[in-house]
Amino acid sequence: MDNLLTQLSTDLAARTAALQGAAAALRLRRGRHISAIVWQPGFVVTSEQSLPERDEFELVLTGGVETKARLAGRDAGTNLAVLQLAQPASPPALVGGEAQAGALALALGADGAGGTSARLGLVNVAGPQWHSLAGGLIDRRIALDLRLARAEEGGPVFSAAGAFLGMSTFGARVQVLVIPAATLERVVPLLVKDGRVGRGWLGVALHPVAVPDALRETAGQPSGLMVMSLVEGGPAAKAGVVPGDIVLSVNGAQALGFRRIAAQLAADSIGRTAALRIVRGGSVVSLDAVIAARPAA
- pLDDT band at residue 31 using 50, 70 and 90 as cut-offs: confident
- The Cα angle at residue 163 between residues 120 and 59, in degrees rounded to 5: 75
Nearest to 126 by CA among 98, 147, 153: 98
As a whole number, mean pLDDT of residues 233-251 equals: 95
pLDDT for the residue 199 = 84
- Which comes out higher in pLDDT, residue 198 or 97? 97
3-state class (DSSP) for residue 286 = strand
Q: Measured in Å, how far apart are the chain's first and last C-alpha atoms? A: 56
- pLDDT band at residue 172 using 50, 70 and 90 as cut-offs: confident
Look up the pTM and report it.
Answer: 0.83
pLDDT in tens, 200-227: 889 999 999 999 998 888 889 999 999 9
- pLDDT band at residue 153 using 50, 70 and 90 as cut-offs: very high
Share of the chain above pLDDT 70, in %: 99
As a whole number, mean pLDDT of residues 36-52 equals: 96
pLDDT in tens, 106-152: 999 999 999 999 999 999 999 999 988 877 889 999 999 999 999 99
pLDDT for the residue 39 = 95
Question: Nearest 10 degrees: CA dihedral of 198, 199, 202, 205?
Answer: -100
How many C-beta atoms lie closer than 10 Å to residue 11's C-beta?
A: 13
As a whole number, mean pLDDT of residues 19-35 equals: 93
Please list, in sequence order, all residues whose beta carbon lies within 8 angstroms of the beta carbon of residue 218, skipping any fewer than 6 positions away: 284
pLDDT for the residue 225 = 94
- For residues 270 and 291, give the distance between their C-alpha atoms in angstroms, rounded to a whole number: 5
pLDDT for the residue 1 = 66
- pLDDT band at residue 2 using 50, 70 and 90 as cut-offs: low
pLDDT for the residue 47 = 98
As a whole number, mean pLDDT of residues 182-209 equals: 93
**CA separation (Å) from 32 to 51, 60, 110, 269?**
11, 12, 12, 39
**Helix or strand holding residue 183 (H, E):** helix 181-194
In the chain the domains, ranked by start, together with CATH numbers, are 2-194 (2.40.10.120), 200-293 (2.30.42.10)
Q: What is the mean pLDDT of the chain?
A: 93
- pLDDT band at residue 3 using 50, 70 and 90 as cut-offs: confident
Nearest to 16 by CA among 113, 95, 97, 117: 117
